[in-house]
C-alpha cells in the first residue's frame, strides 16, 4: 500500500483535471463543475488513504517519491510527508470539495466562464499539495511561486470590484518575498556545495549542515521575509485584507484557509530546522511581531465595516497566535500551532463561506447593510454563530484546543508574550460578536428590507410567524425603562431572504461537524502532529519531550 | 486529595451531562419538527438528570473511605508533557451543586413550560436551557481546571444565547454582548491561572494541583489566587466586573432565575471553594476575596435600593448576596461551609423570587416597572404568598433560610478576628439592613398600596391574574425550600458534616462576639431596614413617575454607582479611539508605505519613460554615445 | 602603404555616416548614411584581413554585404509604406514608438 505514489497522484490528478476542464468546450459548465467536484473528492479520498498509510512511529518523512530532475544542480523532484504536512493535505482535501460546492451557482462577471474558475481551482489544489509535500527546497520554491498564478487569476478574474488592484498587490507582495527566498535558496545551495561533495537542495541533507551563524542569520531572514509576507505577520499584512475582500468566496477560503498556512508551515519546516541558531536569535523579535499582530489586527477587525475585510483581519490576528506557538520552541506550543493551522482553515473557512452566503443574498459587504437576519434565516445565523464561536476559540469548538495548547505551551518559556496575547481572547469575542449581532440580531433593517403591502401578513416568510407580535409585546413593555430599545424598522416590514438551500447546507455541515468533532476529540490529529513537531523542536535545540514543570508533577492519583 | 475510581451508578455520572446535552442537540437539530414536544423533552432530560444526581449522591453518602470519586472518560488533549483527561470528579462539593442545578433547574424548566407557552421560540429556549444545564454540570463535575474551564465558557455561551433570546430587542442584544465580553475578561484570569499551574506543576487536574500546593512558592500561590478570583468575579458579577449582571435581566425571567440568580453566577463561589487548598496557602489572596465580597455586597445593596425595575432590584440583590458568599469563602476554613450553605438557600429563595417576579410580569403584560404595580396581593394570592416567603427568607426573618445562613456568614466574619473581622462583620450587618430596606420597598411597591397600572390597550388589556398551575407549583416548591432549607442545612442535616471530606472539620469553639448578640444585631438591622422602607415607601402614595429631583446619593445609586460610566470611559471609548486610530495607521502608514513604494516606482518609471521620445535620431545618438563610452572604457582598461 | 591610411579612411567614412544619421531628417539619406557606416566597417575588416593574411575578415565583409542588401530591401519597403501613408519621408514624423 505504501508503495503507491499517493503524493504524486495527488499533485497530478487535479492538475490533469484542471487541464481537462480548461479544454472543455464552451457551454459545458455543468460538466466542469461535476468533474471538479469528482476530482477534488478523489483527492480527499487519497488524503485519507495517505493518512491511513502513514505510520506515526515511522521515519520522519514517509511515502517518499524521489526522481532526478536537474542533476547538474542536484535538484530532485522529491516528495514526502511528515505529520505536519499530512494534516495540511487533509485540510486541503476537505476544503477544496467544499469550495467547489460553495461556488456551484456562482456566475462570473463579464464574458468569463466558470469553467476557467474551476480549472484554476483544481490547478491551485495541485500546487498547494505540491508545496506541502515537497522535501526538496528547490521543488518547494517552484511550487511556492507557481501557487501564485492560479490564485492571481482567481482573484483577478472572478473577484469583487477592486479585483485588479487586489490581485496585483497580492502577486507583487508574494513575488517580492519569493524572490528574496530564491536568493536564500541559492545561498543554501552554495553553502551545501562548500560542505558536501555535491551541492544539494534536499531538505534532509541541508538539515545536517553546519552553517556559520552570520550566514544563518542572512539566509534565515531571506526565508523569513517570504513566509512572513505569506502568513502574514504584521507589518507585512496589508495585502491580505484587500485580497480577502476582493477574492471570490471560494478563492478567499483557500487563500486564508490554506495558502497563507504555507507561511507558518515554512517557519516550522524550513526556518527552524535549517537555521536553529538564527531562529533562536530572532525569536524575541518575531514573538514581538506575533503578539503585536494579535492585538493590532484584532483591534482593526473591530473597526471594520466590511465583513470580508473583518474576517481577513481576524485571520491576521490568528496567524499571530500560530507564530507565537511556533517561536515559543516547546513541543506543546508547536503542536498547538500546527493544530491551529488546521483548525483555522476549518473555522475561518466556514466563517468566510457563511459571510459569502449572506453577501450573495444582500449584495453588500457592509455590516451596516444587514440586521435582524436571524429570524428569517435561522440556519444561516446559526452557521455564522458556530463559525464565529469557533473563531473566538470557545471551548467545545476545534479552535479552543489549538489556542489553549499554543498559550499553555508558550507560557512556561515566554510568559510575558503569552500574557499579552491572552488579551486577544477578549478582543476576539468583541469583533466576532459585533459582526454577528449587527447582522443577525436586532430589528430587521438594511438592504434586504422590504415593506409589506397593506393587508399582508406581518411576519417572516414562513418560520416563526408569530414571532414579531410577541416580540413587540415584550419589547414595548420594557421600552419604558430601557431607553435604548427603539425600533428602527417600519412597522410593516420584513426581510426578503432565503434560508440556506440544500446545497449550502451540504457545504456548511461537514465543516460544522469537524468543528465540533475536533473540539471534543482532537487527539487523533494531535497524534499525527506530535512526532513531527518533536523532531522539529529537537532540531532547534528544545526538549522534544515537552516542558519540564518547575516542580515535579504529582503522580499520586 | 485521594480519589477512588467510579463504580456502580457513579460510573454513569457522565449521563448527567450527556442527557441535557443530547436534549439540546435534538432540539436544535430537529428544527420545527420538535416544536410540539420539544419543551417536554427539555424538562424530561433535566428531571432524569436530577434523579441520577440524587442516586449518585445517595451512593456517595453511603461510601466509606474516600468520598472523591474520579471517572476518566477519554484523553482530551495530550501533547508533550501536557496530558489533559476528560474526566469527572464526584465528591460532596460537586454533589450539592449537581443537586442544586438539576433540582432548581427542573423546577424552572417546568415553570418555563407555562411562562414561554405563547412564545414561538419556546423550543429554542428549551434547547438553550438544556445546553446551559449540561455546561453547568460539566463545570461542577469536571475533574480538572481545563474541564472546569470548558464548562465555564460553555455556561457563558448559554448565558449569552439566553440573554439575547429575544434577539430583536437591541437592549437584549447589547446586554448579551456585555455579559459575554465581561465574562471573557474574567476567563482570561482563569486561563492564566491554568497556564501557571501547568508551568509549575505540569498538570491541571484538581488532584494534581490541589494535592501539591505545598510545593509552590508563596508568590505563585498568591498570583494563582488572584487570577482565579478574577475569573470568579467575571462569572459571579463581582466588583469590578459586576455591571453585566443587572443588564442580563433582559433575558426571559426563567433565565434570570436559573442562570443569573441560582446557579451560574454562583460558579465563582464554587471555583474559590474548590480551590480552597490554594487559598489556604495564600492569605493575601484570601483577604482580597473578602474585600471584593464586602465591596460588592455594598454596591449591590445600595443600587438595589434605587431601581424601579423589579428584575433589576432582584439582580442587584443577587450581586449583593453573592458578595456575602465571596466574603464567606474568603474567610477561609470557617467560611467555606457558611458561604456554600448561603449559596444553596439563596438558590432556593432567589429562584423563587425571580419566578414570582416572572409571574407578576406575566400578569402585567410584561411590565417590570414597580411604580405601575401596587395592590397585587389581592389579584395574585399564590404569587404573593410564595414571593412573600422568599422575601422573608432573603431578609433573614428568624427561622427562615436566610436567617440561618446569612447569620452564619456574619458570625464567621466577626470570628475572623481583629479589625478586619469587625469591619467585615459590620459591612455584613449593614448589608442585612439595606437588604431588608430594598426588599421591603419592592414588596410595598408591588403587592401593597393602591393599584397604579394603566388599563392597557383594547387588544391587550392589563388585567392582573394568577398564573397557571404549571407556573405556581414550582413557585410553591421553591417557597417551601426557602422556608426550610436553612434549617435543614445548618441544623437538621448540617452541611458542614457532609462537606467535611472536602474542607475538613472546622469547629470554632470560642467566638469573638457571642452568636446571640450577632443574632440580635442582625435582626435589629433588619427591623430598622423594614421600618425605613415603611417610612419612605409604605406609608405614602408611590408616584407613578419617578421623581427627578433627588439627592446625589440617590442619583448615584440609580446609576449603580456609575459602574457603566466608568467602564465606558476607561475601556470602551479609549478602545474605540484606539481601533479607529489603528485603522488610520494601517491604511495610511503601513499600507501607505507599501502603496508609496509602488507609487514611487511607477512615478520614476514614467519619468524615465519620457526619455523614449520616438525620434529615431535621438535613439541613434544614444547608441553612439553608448558605443563611445564602451570604446573609451576599453581603451582606458587596455591602456591603463 | 601603411595600414593606418585605410583605417583613417574608414574612420572618416564612419564619422560622415554617423553624423549623417544624426543630423539628416530624410529617411533615404539616413539610410544611405547607414550604408556608408557599414561599408566603412567592411573596409576595416578587409584591411585587417589583408594585414593578418587570413580570409576571416573578408568572409565577414561578405556577410555584412549580404545582410546590408537584405536590410535595404526591408528598410526601403518600410520607408515606401511610411511615405505612402504620411506623404513624408522625414524620420522625425514617424515618432509613434515611444512611452
Q: Residue B205: phi, psi to the nearest 5?
A: -75, 150
Reference A42, options A19, A67, A16; nearest CA is: A16
Query: Considering only alpha carbons, which residue of chain C is nearest residue B607?
Result: C99
Please report, to the nearest 10 degrees, the dihedral formed by the alpha carbons of residues A103, A109, A110, A113 taken in order: -10
- For residue A432, list chain B residues with Cβ-Cβ distance below 8 A: none
Is B308 part of a structural domain of the chain?
A: no
Alpha carbon distance A366, A369 (integer Å): 5
On whether the CB atoms of residues B316 and B246 are closer than 8 A, the answer is yes
Reference A256, options A306, A302, A322; nearest CA is: A322
Share of chain B above pLDDT 70, in %: 98
pLDDT digits (tens, 9 = 90+) for A528-538: 999 999 999 99
Query: Considering only alpha carbons, which residue of chain B is nearest residue A424?
Result: B188
pLDDT digits (tens, 9 = 90+) for A484-496: 333 444 456 778 8
ipTM, two decimals, is 0.89
CA-based nearest distance B98→chain A, Å = 21
* Residue-level pLDDT at A492: 61
Is B305 part of a structural domain of the chain?
A: no
Alpha carbon distance A495, A449 (integer Å): 4
DSSP character for A452?
P
Evaluate whether chains A and C are touching (3 or more beta carbon pairs less than 8 Å apart): no
Cβ-proximal residues to B271 (8 Å cutoff; 6+ apart), any chain: B148, B190, B228, B231, B232, B235
Reference B269, options B221, B335, B189; nearest CA is: B335
Is B236 part of a structural domain of the chain?
A: no
* Residue-level pLDDT at A277: 92
The residue ranges of DSSP E strands in B507-568, in sequence order, are none
C-alpha radius of gyration, chain A, whole number: 24
* Residue-level pLDDT at A2: 52
Alpha carbon distance B417, A425 (integer Å): 41
- For residue B615, list chain C residues with Cβ-Cβ distance below 8 A: 91-92, 95
Residues B591 and B444 in one domain: no
Among B602, B608, B609, B616, most C C-beta atoms within 10 A, so best to mutate, is B616
Among C21, C28, C30, C44, most B C-beta atoms within 10 A, so best to mutate, is C21
Is the CB of B201 less than 8 angstroms away from the CB of A554?
Answer: yes
Q: Which residues pair with B70 in a beta bridge?
A: B5, B89
Reduced to 3 states, what is the DSSP secondary structure of residue A377?
Answer: coil
Q: Would you state the cell numbers that stand for residue B401, as one nine-digit string? A: 433560610
CA-based nearest distance B79→chain A, Å = 5
Containing A493, the helix (H) or strand (E) segment is strand A493-495
Residues B488 and B624 in one domain: no
pLDDT at C11 over 70: yes
Alpha carbon distance B217, B207 (integer Å): 18
- B76 — contact with chain A (CB < 8 Å)? yes
Alpha carbon distance B157, A382 (integer Å): 13
Alpha carbon distance B57, B69 (integer Å): 11
Residues B634 and B507 in one domain: no
Query: Considering only alpha carbons, which residue of chain A is nearest residue B215?
Result: A551
Alpha carbon distance A493, A495 (integer Å): 7
Higher pLDDT, B501 or A136: A136
Is B59 part of a structural domain of the chain?
A: yes
Is B301 part of a structural domain of the chain?
A: no
pLDDT at A481 over 70: no
Pick B200's closest partner by Cβ from A375, A434, A551: A551
Q: C-alpha distances in angstroms, B177 versus A436, A475, B162, B432? A: 10, 18, 11, 32
Please report, to the nearest 10 degrees, the dihedral formed by the alpha carbons of residues A251, A257, A260, A261 taken in order: -150
Reduced to 3 states, what is the DSSP secondary structure of residue A76?
Answer: strand
Is the CB of B174 less than 8 angstroms away from the CB of A408?
Answer: no
- For residue C22, list chain B residues with Cβ-Cβ distance below 8 A: 617, 620-621, 624
Is the CB of B582 less than 8 angstroms away from the CB of A299?
Answer: yes
On whether the CB atoms of residues A509 and A382 are closer than 8 A, the answer is no
Task: Report the sign of the C-alpha dihedral through residues B615, B620, B626, B629, in that order.
Answer: negative
Alpha carbon distance B572, A508 (integer Å): 34
pLDDT at A140 over 80: yes
pLDDT at A483 over 80: no
Residues B574 and B457 in one domain: no
Q: C-alpha distances in angstroms, C98 versus A221, B1, B604? A: 41, 87, 16
Is the CB of A554 less than 8 angstroms away from the CB of B207?
Answer: yes
pLDDT digits (tens, 9 = 90+) for B228-276: 999 999 999 898 888 888 888 988 999 999 888 888 888 999 999 999 9
* Residue range of the domain that includes B621: 568-639
- B615 — contact with chain C (CB < 8 Å)? yes
- B544 — contact with chain A (CB < 8 Å)? no
Reduced to 3 states, what is the DSSP secondary structure of residue A449?
Answer: strand
Alpha carbon distance B30, C92 (integer Å): 82
Residue position matching grid coordinates 523569513: A224
Pick C21's closest partner by Cβ from B609, B615, B617: B617
Whether a cis peptide bond, with omega within 30° of 0, leads into A510 is no
Is B229 part of a structural domain of the chain?
A: no
pLDDT digits (tens, 9 = 90+) for A70-123: 888 889 999 999 999 999 999 999 999 999 999 888 877 666 788 889 999 999
Cα B235 from chain centroid (whole Å): 4
- B143 — contact with chain A (CB < 8 Å)? no
Is B297 part of a structural domain of the chain?
A: no
Q: Would you state the cell numbers that stand for residue A412, as one nine-digit string? A: 512556561
- B70 — contact with chain A (CB < 8 Å)? yes
String of b and e for B214-240 (b: at least 16 CB within 10 Å)?
Answer: eebeeebbbbbbbbbbbbbbbbbbbbb
Residues B517 and B592 in one domain: no
C-alpha radius of gyration, chain B, whole number: 31
pLDDT at A330 over 90: yes
Of B486, B512, B547, which residue is a domain's last? B547
Q: C-alpha distances in angstroms, B498 versus B95, B96, B301, B337? A: 10, 9, 31, 10
Residues A299-304: what's their mean pLDDT? 90
Domain count, chain B: 2
C74, burial (CB in 10 Å: exposed 0-12, middle 13-18, buried 19+): exposed
Task: Report the sign of the C-alpha dihedral through residues B18, B19, B24, B27, in that order.
Answer: positive
Enumerate residues 34 to 93 of chain C having a beta carbon within 8 A of any beta carbon in chain B: 91-92
Whether a cis peptide bond, with omega within 30° of 0, leads into B117 is no
Alpha carbon distance B255, B235 (integer Å): 15
Chains that contact A by 3+ CB pairs under 8 Å? B
pLDDT digits (tens, 9 = 90+) for C31-62: 899 999 999 999 999 999 999 889 999 999 99
Is B241 part of a structural domain of the chain?
A: no
HSE toward the beta carbon, residue A309, CA cutoff 13 A: 22
What is the reported pTM?
Answer: 0.88
Q: Would you state the cell numbers that stand for residue A256, as one nine-digit string? A: 486564508
- B613 — contact with chain C (CB < 8 Å)? yes
Q: Would you state the cell numbers that stand for residue B439, as one nine-digit string? A: 426588599
Residues B543 and B581 in one domain: no
Of B488, B512, B547, which residue is a domain's last? B547
Please state, as a whole number, how many other Cβ atoms lie within 10 Å of the Cβ of residue B384. Answer: 22
Residues B581 and B543 in one domain: no
* Residue-level pLDDT at A329: 92
Write the secondary structure of A269-319 as one string of H (helix), E (strand) and C (coil): HHHHHHCHHHHHHHHHHHHHHHHHHHHHHHHHHHCCCEHHHHHHHHHHHHH
- C94 — contact with chain B (CB < 8 Å)? yes
Q: Would you state the cell numbers that stand for residue A71, as one nine-digit string? A: 542533476
Mean pLDDT of all residues in chain A? 87
Residues B34 and B103 in one domain: yes
Residue position matching grid coordinates 476529540: A521
Residues B383 and B495 in one domain: yes
Residues A41-49: what's their mean pLDDT? 94
* Residue-level pLDDT at B161: 93
- B8 — contact with chain A (CB < 8 Å)? no
DSSP H helix total and E strand total for chain A: 22, 4
Is the CB of C22 less than 8 angstroms away from the CB of B606?
Answer: no
Pick A429's closest partner by Cβ from B180, B207, B586: B180
pLDDT digits (tens, 9 = 90+) for B555-574: 887 777 788 888 888 888 88
Question: Which pLDDT band, with edges at 50, 70 and 90, does A283 fall under?
Answer: very high
Residues B58 and B103 in one domain: yes
Quote the longest CA-to-CA distance of chain A: 88
pLDDT digits (tens, 9 = 90+) for A308-323: 999 999 999 999 999 9
Among B608, B611, B620, most C C-beta atoms within 10 A, so best to mutate, is B620
Query: Considering only alpha carbons, which residue of chain A is nearest residue B592?
Result: A238
Residues B539 and B585 in one domain: no
On whether the CB atoms of residues B352 and B478 are closer than 8 A, the answer is yes
Reduced to 3 states, what is the DSSP secondary structure of residue B369?
Answer: strand
Question: Which pLDDT band, with edges at 50, 70 and 90, does B351 fall under?
Answer: very high
Higher pLDDT, A26 or A401: A401
Alpha carbon distance A397, A391 (integer Å): 9
Amino acid at each position: 500500500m505504501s508503495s503507491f505514489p499517493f503524493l504524486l497522484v495527488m499533485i497530478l490528478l487535479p492538475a490533469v483535471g484542471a487541464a481537462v476542464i480548461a479544454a472543455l468546450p464552451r457551454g459545458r459548465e455543468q460538466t466542469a463543475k461535476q468533474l471538479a467536484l469528482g476530482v477534488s473528492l478523489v483527492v480527499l479520498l487519497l488524503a485519507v488513504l495517505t493518512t491511513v498509510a502513514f505510520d506515526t512511529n515511522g521515519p520522519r518523512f514517509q511515502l517518499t517519491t524521489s526522481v532526478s530532475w536537474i542533476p547538474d544542480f542536484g535538484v530532485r523532484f522529491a516528495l514526502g510527508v511528515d505529520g505536519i504536512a499530512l494534516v495540511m493535505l487533509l485540510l486541503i482535501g476537505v476544503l477544496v470539495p467544499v469550495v467547489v460546492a460553495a461556488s456551484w451557482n456562482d456566475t462570473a462577471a463579464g464574458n468569463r466562464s466558470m469553467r476557467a474558475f474551476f480549472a484554476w481551482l483544481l490547478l491551485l489544489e495541485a500546487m498547494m499539495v505540491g508545496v506541502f509535500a515537497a522535501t526538496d527546497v528547490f521543488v518547494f520554491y517552484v511550487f511556492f511561486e507557481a501557487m501564485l498564478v492560479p490564485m492571481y487569476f482567481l482573484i483577478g478574474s472572478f473577484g469583487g470590484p477592486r479585483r485588479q488592484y487586489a490581485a496585483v498587490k497580492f502577486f507583487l507582495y508574494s513575488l517580492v518575498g519569493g524572490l528574496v527566498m530564491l536568493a536564500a535558496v541559492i545561498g543554501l545551495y552554495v553553502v551545501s556545495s562548500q560542505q558536501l561533495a555535491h551541492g544539494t537542495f534536499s531538505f534532509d541533507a541541508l538539515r545536517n549542515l553546519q552553517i556559520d551563524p552570520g550566514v544563518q542569520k542572512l539566509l534565515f531572514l531571506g526565508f523569513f521575509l517570504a513566509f512572513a509576507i505569506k502568513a502574514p505577520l504584521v507589518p507585512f499584512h496589508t495585502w491580505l485584507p484587500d485580497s480577502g475582500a476582493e477574492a471570490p468566496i471560494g478563492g478567499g477560503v483557500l487563500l486564508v484557509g490554506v495558502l497563507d498556512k504555507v507561511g507558518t508551515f515554512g517557519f516550522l519546516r524550513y526556518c527552524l530546522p535549517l537555521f536553529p541558531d538564527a531562529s533562536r536569535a530572532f525569536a524575541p523579535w518575531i514573538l514581538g511581531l506575533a503578539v503585536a499582530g494579535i492585538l493590532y489586527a484584532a483591534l482593526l477587525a473591530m473597526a471594520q465595516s466590511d465583513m470580508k475585510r473583518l474576517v481577513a483581519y481576524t485571520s491576521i490576528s490568528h496567524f499571530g497566535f500560530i507564530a507565537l506557538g511556533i517561536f515559543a520552541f516547546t513541543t506543546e506550543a508547536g503542536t498547538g500551532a500546527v493544530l491551529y493551522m488546521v483548525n483555522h482553515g476549518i473555522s475561518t473557512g466556514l466563517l468566510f463561506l457563511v459571510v459569502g452566503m449572506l453577501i450573495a443574498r444582500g449584495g453588500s459587504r457592509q455590516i451596516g447593510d444587514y440586521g435582524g437576519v436571524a429570524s428569517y434565516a435561522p440556519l444561516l445565523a446559526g452557521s455564522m454563530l458556530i463559525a464565529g464561536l469557533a473563531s473566538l476559540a470557545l471551548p467545545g469548538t476545534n479552535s479552543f484546543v489549538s489556542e489553549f495548547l499554543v498559550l499553555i505551551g508558550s507560557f512556561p518559556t515566554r510568559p510575558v508574550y503569552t500574557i499579552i496575547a491572552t488579551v486577544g481572547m477578549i478582543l476576539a469575542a468583541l469583533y466576532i460578536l459585533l459582526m454577528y449581532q449587527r447582522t443577525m440580531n436586532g430589528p430587521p433593517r438594511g438592504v434586504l428590507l422590504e415593506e409589506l403591502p397593506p393587508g399582508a401578513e406581518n411576519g417572516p416568510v414562513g418560520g416563526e410567524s408569530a414571532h414579531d407580535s410577541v416580540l413587540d409585546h415584550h419589547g414595548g413593555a420594557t421600552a419604558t425603562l430601557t431607553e435604548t430599545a427603539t425600533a428602527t424598522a417600519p412597522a410593516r416590514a420584513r426581510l426578503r431572504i432565503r434560508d440556506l438551500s440544500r446545497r449550502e447546507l451540504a457545504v456548511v455541515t461537514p465543516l460544522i461537524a469537524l468543528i465540533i468533532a475536533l473540539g471534543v476529540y482532537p487527539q487523533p490529529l494531535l497524534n499525527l502532529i506530535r512526532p513531527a513537531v518533536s523532531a522539529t523542536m529537537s532540531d532547534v535545540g528544545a526538549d522534544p519531550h515537552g516542558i519540564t514543570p518547575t516542580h515535579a508533577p504529582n503522580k499520586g492519583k | 486529595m485521594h480519589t477512588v475510581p467510579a463504580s456502580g451508578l457513579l460510573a454513569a455520572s457522565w449521563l448527567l451531562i450527556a442527557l441535557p446535552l443530547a436534549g439540546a442537540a435534538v432540539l436544535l437539530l430537529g428544527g420545527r419538527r420538535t416544536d410540539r414536544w420539544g419543551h417536554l423533552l427539555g424538562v424530561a432530560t433535566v428531571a432524569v438528570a436530577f434523579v441520577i444526581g440524587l442516586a449518585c449522591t445517595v451512593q456517595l453518602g453511603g461510601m466509606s473511605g474516600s468520598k472523591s470519586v474520579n471517572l476518566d472518560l477519554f484523553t482530551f488533549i495530550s501533547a508533550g508533557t501536557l496530558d489533559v483527561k476528560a474526566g469527572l470528579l464526584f465528591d460532596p462539593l460537586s454533589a450539592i451543586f449537581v443537586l442544586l442545578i438539576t433540582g432548581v433547574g427542573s423546577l424552572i424548566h417546568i415553570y418555563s413550560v407555562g411562562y414561554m407557552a405563547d412564545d414561538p421560540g419556546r423550543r429554542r429556549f428549551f434547547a438553550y436551557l438544556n445546553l446551559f444545564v449540561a455546561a453547568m454540570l460539566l463545570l461542577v463535575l469536571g475533574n480538572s481546571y481545563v474541564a472546569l474551564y470548558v464548562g465555564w465558557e460553555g455556561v457563558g455561551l448559554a448565558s449569552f444565547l439566553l440573554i439575547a433570546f429575544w434577539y430583536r430587542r437591541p437592549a437584549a442584544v447589547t446586554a448579551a454582548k456585555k455579559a459575554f465580553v465581561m465574562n471573557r475578561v474574567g476567563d482570561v484570569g482563569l486561563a492564566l491561572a491554568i497556564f501557571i499551574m501547568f508551568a509549575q506543576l505540569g498538570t491541571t487536574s484538581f488532584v494534581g494541583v490541589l494535592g501539591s500546593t505545598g510545593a509552590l512558592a508563596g508568590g505563585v500561590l498568591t498570583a494563582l489566587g488572584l487570577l482565579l478570583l478574577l475569573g470568579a468575579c467575571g462569572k459571579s458579577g463581582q466588583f469590578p466586573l459586576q455591571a453585566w449582571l443587572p443588564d442580563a435581566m433582559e433575558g426571559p425571567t426563567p433565565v434570570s432565575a436559573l442562570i443569573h440568580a441560582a446557579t451560574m453566577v454562583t460558579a465563582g463561589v464554587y471555583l474559590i471553594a474548590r480551590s480552597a487548598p490554594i487559598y489556604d496557602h495564600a492569605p493575601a489572596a484570601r483577604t482580597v476575596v473578602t474585600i471584593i465580597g464586602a465591596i460588592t455586597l455594598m454596591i449591590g445593596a445600595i443600587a438595589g435600593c434605587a431601581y424601579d425595575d423589579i428584575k433589576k432590584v432582584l439582580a442587584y440583590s443577587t450581586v449583593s448576596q453573592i458578595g456575602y458568599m465571596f466574603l464567606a469563602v474568603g474567610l477561609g476554613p470557617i467560611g467555606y461551609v457558611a458561604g456554600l450553605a448561603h449559596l444553596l438557600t439563596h438558590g432556593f429563595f432567589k429562584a423563587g423570587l425571580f419566578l414570582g417576579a416572572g409571574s407578576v410580569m406575566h400578569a402585567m403584560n410584561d411590565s417590570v416597572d414597580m411604580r405601575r404595580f401596587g395592590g397585587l396581593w389581592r389579584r395574585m394570592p399564590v404569587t404573593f404568598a410564595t414571593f412573600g416567603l422568599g422575601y422573608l427568607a432573603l431578609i433573614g426573618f428568624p427561622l427562615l433560610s436566610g436567617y440561618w445562613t446569612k447569620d452564619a456568614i456574619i458570625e464567621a466574619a466577626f470570628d475572623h478576628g481583629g479589625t478586619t473581622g469587625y469591619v467585615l462583620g459590620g459591612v455584613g450587618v449593614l448589608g442585612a439592613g439595606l437588604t431588608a430596606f430594598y426588599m421591603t420597598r419592592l414588596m410595598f411597591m408591588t403587592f401593597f398600596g393602591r393599584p397604579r397600572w394603566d388599563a392597557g390597550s383594547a387588544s391587550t388589556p392589563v388585567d392582573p391574574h394568577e398564573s397557571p398551575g404549571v407556573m405556581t407549583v414550582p413557585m410553591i416548591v421553591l417557597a417551601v425550600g426557602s422556608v426550610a432549607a436553612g434549617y435543614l442545612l445548618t441544623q437538621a442535616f448540617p452541611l458542614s458534616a457532609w462537606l467535611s471530606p472536602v474542607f475538613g472539620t472546622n469547629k470554632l469553639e470560642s467566638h469573638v462576639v457571642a452568636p446571640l448578640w450577632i443574632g440580635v444585631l442582625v435582626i435589629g438591622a433588619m427591623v430598622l431596614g423594614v421600618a425605613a422602607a415603611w417610612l419612605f415607601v409604605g406609608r405614602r402614595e408611590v408616584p407613578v413617575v419617578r421623581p427627578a429631583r433627588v439627592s446625589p446619593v440617590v442619583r448615584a445609586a440609580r446609576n449603580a454607582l456609575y459602574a457603566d460610566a466608568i467602564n465606558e470611559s476607561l475601556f470602551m471609548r479609549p478602545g474605540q479611539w484606539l481601533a479607529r486610530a489603528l485603522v488610520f495607521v494601517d491604511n495610511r502608514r503601513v499600507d501607505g508605505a507599501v502603496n508609496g513604494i509602488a507609487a514611487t516606482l511607477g512615478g520614476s518609471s514614467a519619468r524615465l519613460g519620457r526619455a523614449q521620445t520616438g525620434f529615431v535620431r535621438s535613439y541613434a545618438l544614444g547608441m553612439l554615445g553608448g558605443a563611445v563610452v564602451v570604446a573609451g572604457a576599453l581603451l582606458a582598461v587596455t591602456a591603463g | 602603404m601603411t595600414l593606418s591610411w585605410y583605417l583613417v579612411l574608414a574612420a572618416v567614412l564612419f564619422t560622415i555616416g554617423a553624423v549623417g544619421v544624426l543630423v539628416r531628417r530624410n529617411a533615404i539619406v539616413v539610410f544611405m548614411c547607414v550604408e556608408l557606416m557599414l561599408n566603412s566597417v567592411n573596409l576595416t575588416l578587409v584591411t585587417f584581413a589583408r594585414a593578418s593574411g587570413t580570409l576571416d575578415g573578408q568572409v565577414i565583409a561578405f556577410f555584412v554585404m549580404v545582410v546590408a542588401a537584405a536590410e535595404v530591401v526591408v528598410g526601403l519597403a518600410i520607408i515606401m509604406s511610411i511615405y505612402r501613408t504620411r506623404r513624408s519621408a522625414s524620420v522625425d514624423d514617424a515618432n509613434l514608438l515611444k512611452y
